[in-house]
Amino acid sequence: MNLRDLGGWTGFDGRRVGHGHFYRCDRLSDLTDADLSVLTGLGIETVIDLRHEGETAEHPSRLWASVVLHRNIPMAAELAAQKSLVDLILDGEIAEVTVAEVEASYREMLTRHAVGFGLAVETMLASEGPALFHCTAGKDRTGLLAMLVLSTVGVSDDDVIRDFGLSNRYRAERRIAELRASFEARGVDIERFRPALSAPEPAMAAAIPWLRQSHGSVEAYLEEAAGVPDAGRRLRERLLYP
């Protein structure tokens, strides 16, 4: 499970991002009963699912006792009727995926789904208790939302990228190991697709300055393009220790 707390990083004025407010994760369909017990113990009340309808239908979420709001804010809905990435690769419809292509997909997602990211942040801020957001792998859509929140409260780019890259430790490397045999059986070099199957830090490292150049700041993106009034102040008041 690619679950972690957004807390612990250093934000504005050397203040720490508090633990127990916002969590990020991969899909919730594979949770064990032990996982459900852990999540209940964390008191997570709000769950935000960034997956499109094809993903939610194929892998419905398992929820836990403390959840009072489960909200789906679909992103990449245009992919709902398409094959999965792995099927496209194994069927020979994609020859390679580069880091530059992943970074371009992040720019497109931030542009196309600005309002969706804004709705997610508003939902998180409205939650009286802890909130969790997730997609399928917990690295791309989820990683961008985590970036928006952490950058807005002053976490350094280096630390935002470190947080993003932790998905490699908690999910991507295991997933690549699981897929390797099936790729080899079809004569496909899985390393040609590592950027799409992992959390490539250079892609996030390029996306953050692009966002600033396009909108002035990450905070301005949230407040203007994503439509979250006073996002910077509200997130800082919610997350940063005095």
The answer to pTM > 0.75 is yes
Catalogue all structural domains in the chain, each as residue range(s) with its CATH number: 4-239 (3.90.190.10)
Q: What is the pLDDT along the chain (242 residues), one digit of tens a residue?
A: 899 999 999 999 999 999 999 999 999 999 999 999 999 999 999 999 999 998 999 999 999 999 999 999 999 766 544 678 888 899 889 999 999 999 999 999 999 999 999 999 999 999 999 999 999 999 999 999 999 999 999 999 999 999 999 999 999 999 999 999 999 999 999 999 999 999 999 999 999 999 999 999 999 999 999 999 999 999 999 999 98
Segments in 31-172 forming alpha helices (H): 33-41, 53-58, 85-90, 99-112, 114-126, 141-152, 157-167
Number of H helices, E strands in the chain: 12, 5
What does the pLDDT read at residue 77? 63
Measured distance CA(89)–CA(225) in Å, rounded:
34
| Residue 153 near residue 12, CB atoms below 8 Å | yes
Secondary structure (DSSP) of 102-130: HHHHHHHHHHHTHHHHHHHHHHHHH-SS-
Please identify which residue in the block is written with the tokens 């009340």.
45
For 140, other C-beta atoms within 10 Å of its C-beta total 24
